[in-house]
Structure 1
Amino acid sequence: MTGSVPQRDGAVRAAATPAEPADADLLRAHVDGDPEAFGELIRRHRDRLWAVALRTLGDREEAADALQDALLSAHRAAARFRGDSLVTTWLHRIVVNACIDRARRRQAHPTVPLPDGNREDGAFRGPEPAAPPVDHDTALDVRHALATLPADQRAALVLVDVQGFSVADAAAVLGVAEGTIKSRCARGRAKLAQQLGHLRPRPAAPAAAHDATNDTPRTGNQLPAPGVPSGSRTPEREGGES
């Protein structure tokens, strides 16, 4: 019989479609000398790795350099992968560590960065991570606020709050206890809340009460009109007044 093959879980897969090799198989093939295996592995996960690097460092050139360093390290260290975690966890750990090292060096030797628009792209250029539509100034405020956090808090927040990692997965990536991730995230969020408090939407003004007979808003609690002193009453339209 040809066409489709039923699977144990009830799913159906076309018989002519070969199963893709697992990440661990690709890494093992790379260690065994397959020249294409590592490139295929990175192509699968490049966008997420790039997003983590960019969010952690907040600068495209720095992120590109950190990612290049991390991938070179992973390429060289593949034979030492023990298989005690997912390959993706291992890759993210290498990328995050490269970013943290670079962030700490940058904090120790601060420089004045050029605006991204005036920089040439680094050796690696990936897509911007998906994000809700916000205005440019807000995005810059958030990026600058993240950059003020200690590197370990920033990395934890990027993984959990930006990339959507579970606390357990973030702990595995960073090689720390889950409680440490929770603590770093809590401290980081508290600092961001102080710095970004001006971005919180102002509470909406309570709706004015309406007269049931003519649907005209009552004016007893209205805010004064622009240019009218707070102690005076805003004129209302009554009868023939205009």
Structure 2
Amino acid sequence: MAPAPGGLAELDEATLVARARDRDPASFELLVRRYQRRIYSLCLRMLNGASGEAEDVAQEVFLTAWRRLPEIEYDGAFGSWLYRTATNKCLTILQRRKPVDEIDEHNTPIETGVDGDPARAVHNSEAMRALTLALAQLPPPQRACWLLREVHGRSYQEIADLVETTPTAVRGRIARARAELVEVMKPWR
């Protein structure tokens, strides 16, 4: 990543959002760079490894953000707004789809062993494929809650706000998702 022009990289998110709202493209570009990998990762996992579709959704999220910046009332809420928008767009796509029978295994990330051990890398790759398939079998609301909590580290309250439900419902969805994933992943322990 090239250094941001004019020392923008040191600015906090709220300042960048305020500048982007004033139509400063460099500030918005820096916001995109800060969030693009996280939003793409969420979309990729939500959409069962469909990389092209995940790229399209992520790009659409940032285009929508640029257009709707004036609607974001609190400058510090930009990241949450991105996550909510990405989650909702992915859930909409998943509702239109037929149930998942297969995963695009070519887009499943392959984990390599830290020590460079090929056998370990194969084992990790197979485990990741199993996890990806297990996630694809979860109902989309459960998958969204689990990913937002376990992969993206969001709080129960924030997830509840993102998916427009209560923290208690989020906890229930995550508990059911965890139980199903633990069962499916037993052979990989």
TM-score of the alignment, normalized to the shorter chain, above 0.5 = yes
Q: Structure 2: how far apart are the matches of 1:131 and 1:167?
A: 31
Look up the match of 1:82: 73
Q: Structure 1: how far apart are the matches of 2:112 and 2:16?
A: 31
Look up the match of 2:174: 185
1:32 aligns with 2:22: yes
Look up the match of 1:196: 185
1:107 aligns with 2:98: yes
CA contact (8 A) 2:110 2:125 kept: no
Q: Structure 2: how far apart are the matches of 1:161 and 1:139?
A: 15
Q: 1:42 to 1:19 in 2, by over 3 A?
A: closer
Deviation at 1:55, TM superposition (A): 2.2
CA contact (8 A) 1:54 1:63 kept: yes
Judging by fraction of residues, say which structure has more helix. 2
1:22 aligns with 2:16: no
Look up the match of 2:156: 167
Letter in 2 for 1:88: G
Percent identical = 29
1:57 aligns with 2:52: no
Q: 1:129 to 1:161 in 2, by over 3 A?
A: farther
List alignment gaps of at least 5 residues for structure 1.
Answer: 1-16, 118-127, 201-242
1:154 aligns with 2:143: yes
Q: Secondary structure at the match of 2:10?
A: coil
List alignment gaps of at least 5 residues for structure 2.
Answer: 1-6, 114-120
1:15-62, CA deviations, whole angstroms, 9 ceiling, x for partnerless residues? xx8883322222222222222221111111222222222222231222
Look up the match of 1:214: none
Which structure has more RCO (C-alpha within 8 Å, separation ≥ 6)? Answer: 2
Q: TM-score, normalised by structure 2?
A: 0.76
Q: Structure 1: how far apart are the matches of 2:64 and 2:8?
A: 31
1:144-172, CA deviations, whole angstroms, 9 ceiling, x for partnerless residues? 11001111100110011222222233223
Q: Structure 2: how far apart are the matches of 1:72 and 1:177?
A: 29
1:43 aligns with 2:52: no
CA contact (8 A) 2:111 2:124 kept: no
CA contact (8 A) 1:153 1:185 kept: yes
Count of aligned pairs: 173
Look up the match of 1:69: 60
Deviation at 1:143, TM superposition (A): 0.3
Determine which of 144, 147, 165 is the counterpart of 2:133: 144
Q: Decide which moves more: 68-77 or 146-155.
A: 68-77
Deviation at 1:179, TM superposition (A): 0.9
Q: Structure 2: how far apart are the matches of 1:79 and 1:155?
A: 27
Deviation at 1:115, TM superposition (A): 4.3
CA contact (8 A) 1:51 1:129 kept: no
CA contact (8 A) 2:65 2:82 kept: yes
